[in-house]
Structure 1
Amino acid sequence: MTQAEALTIPAHIHGYPEIVFGGYLAGLLAAEAGGDTVRVDFRRAVMVGTPIRLSSPAGGRAAFTATDDTLLVEATPSVLTLDPRPTPSWTAAKSAVELALSGDRTVTDCYGCGLGCAPGRGLRLFPSELPGTRMMAAAWTPDAGLADETGELPPEIVWSALDCPGGRAAFVFSEMGSGAFTAALTATQLRPMYAGADYISHAWVIARDGRKHTVGVALSTADGELCALSEALWIEPRQG
């Protein structure tokens, strides 16, 4: 993308209905902001099918704005001091997926965890609780439809995979209320990730302060080598 280039996010890339999946937007901006670690702040909801503009001012900052120049999302270079929790085994992560798929799913079309998404049209990343750990985990083998022409997962896919599992962890372990959303996402990618390769996702709660929930998410190879790491702030809507 170039400075002030306009784009429209396709309708299937959503979390809540009609709202663009936050991790996807964050990954697009992170690629423009540069730097090893980037923080993305979500200022307003971005609707699917609505034109938005990219701008990349000096200093590594990148932003999405509405066509009337209203700031929607911005990214800046940052640091991440988070220590990831130990990666679960591939066997445990596969068991977590089996547990996630064994019950009724109330959300089936979320770009991150929707079972109704066709391969390549969603991540199909299905985290569930690992007994006795207070972590969510999932085994994940990305579909080729998510990768670029070389087979590598682009930043918007990696950042998407670093978003949704943290929300699941907060809902399960931090009693986060319905309607909560990602307010900020800080992440770093340590090594390339590829379609067809096996990965382990795990997520945990770091802290809670009223309506604010801080979570961590890690992506690792099936052998436990860390690929990407994020810390996110989720916020519950005000009551009433």
Structure 2
Amino acid sequence: MIERLAIDARFKGPPNSGNGGYSCGVMARHLKGAVEASLKLPPPLDTPLEIMQTDGGVTMQHGDTLVGIAKPATLDLEVPALPSPLVLGGDPVDAPGRPAKFRPFGTCFVCGHDRTHPDGLCIHSKLVDGHDGMVASQWALDVGYADEAGNVAPEFIWSALDCPGYFACAPGEAALLGRLTAEILAPLKAEGEATVIGWDLGGAGRKRRCGTAIYAADGTLVAKAEGLWIVVDPEKIKA
């Protein structure tokens, strides 16, 4: 065993389970390089969990129940250049032609509009004018997200790489993060602002694919990720 922990209710995604990116990041911080993290069930909140070492990586478990798994990976993902100027438009959920109008969770740690900064990350993705399938948001950083070196801690980088992907590939649909493969490329000081983008990579059936990335204020590419979202019955994820 590497670590015992509980996902605090502060870090929720849906009302009753952990934010997917944060939960994946809690596992991934024990590995180096690019990491593929998968969630096998919604991570429970305020519940004793264990991070266990395996031959291939780590697992997150609640007793004998497997919650998630993370392992080293190769991430071959081409990241779009940050648009300049970056002109933000409307809410992706309200974009014309969307098949459904499921409204994401207002209390989500990453994207919830009912959260206040810095308690929540308050990454509110908007459509990017002139770039179909792309969303972006400014992210106000805070010392409360810092590790001992003063950089944004890995679990918060992973958190920021989560929700923008939903708004790029599944806005208006009831979908949960199933897998996130991410790589942190450079440290990000926990001060000032960063920009987070997401872009649609297509999908079929109940699966939606996306890319996300974080750019520092000076244009440095800090991190990138490829996400897999699964469309679910909205009744199963209601508060």
Fold shared per TM-score above 0.5:
yes
**1:119–1:145: 8 Å Cα contact kept in structure 2?**
no
Aligned counterparts, 1:104-143, within 5 A: 107-134=105-132, 135-143=134-142
Aligned length: 224
Aligned to 2:36, the other structure's residue is in SS state strand
- 1:127-186 Cα deviation digits (max 9, x unpaired): 1001221210111121222223432111100000001100111134xxx622x1111100
Q: After the TM superposition, which segments of 4 or more aligned residues of structure 1 sit over 6 Å from their partners?
A: none
1:177 aligned to which of 156, 168, 173: 173
Question: 1:113 offset after TM fit, Å?
Answer: 1.1
Q: Secondary structure at the match of 1:203?
A: strand
Could you list the runs of 5+ residues in structure 1 that have no partner in the other structure?
none
- Other-structure match for 1:52: 49
- Per the alignment, residue 39 of structure 1 pairs with 36
Query: Is the partner of 2:29 in helix, strand or coil?
Result: helix
Q: Is the 8 A contact 2:24 2:155 kept in 1?
A: yes
Report the aligned-residue RMSD: 2.1
1:198 and 1:51 mapped to 2: Cα distance? 34
Task: Say whether the 8 Å CA contact 1:186–1:230 is kept in structure 2.
Answer: yes
The residue number in structure 2 matching 1:234 is 229
The amino acid across from 1:12 in the alignment is: R
- Match of 1:78? 73
Q: Partners of 1:116 and 1:235 in 2: how far apart?
A: 24
Confirm or deny that 1:161 pairs with 2:156: no
In the alignment, the residues of structure 2 paired with residue 144 and residue 6 of structure 1 have an alpha-carbon distance, to the nearest angstrom, of 24
Percent of aligned positions with the same letter in both sequences? 33
Using the TM superposition, give the Cα deviation of residue 106 of structure 1 relative to its aligned residue in structure 2, in angstroms. 6.6
Determine which of 178, 187, 190 is the counterpart of 1:192: 187
Distance in 1 between residues matched to 2:193 and 2:2, nearest whole Å: 37
Task: Identify if the C-alpha distance between structure 1 residues 46 and 222 changes in structure 2 by more than 3 Å, giving closer, same or farther.
Answer: same
What is the correspondence of 1:214-229 to structure 2 with a 5 Å cutoff? 214-229=209-224
Compare 127-136 and 74-83 and name the one that shifted more: 127-136
Distance 1:81 1:106, change over 3 A: closer
Correspondence 1:14 to 2:12: yes
1:101-140 deviation per Cα after TM superposition (whole angstroms, max 9, x unaligned): xx9x874321001233232321111110012212101111
SS in 1 for 2:9: coil
Structure 2: runs of 5 or more not aligned: 95-102
TM-score, normalised to structure 1, is 0.86
* Structure 2 contact 106–113 (Cα < 8 Å) conserved: yes
2:180 and 2:150 map into 1 onto residues whose CA distance is: 25
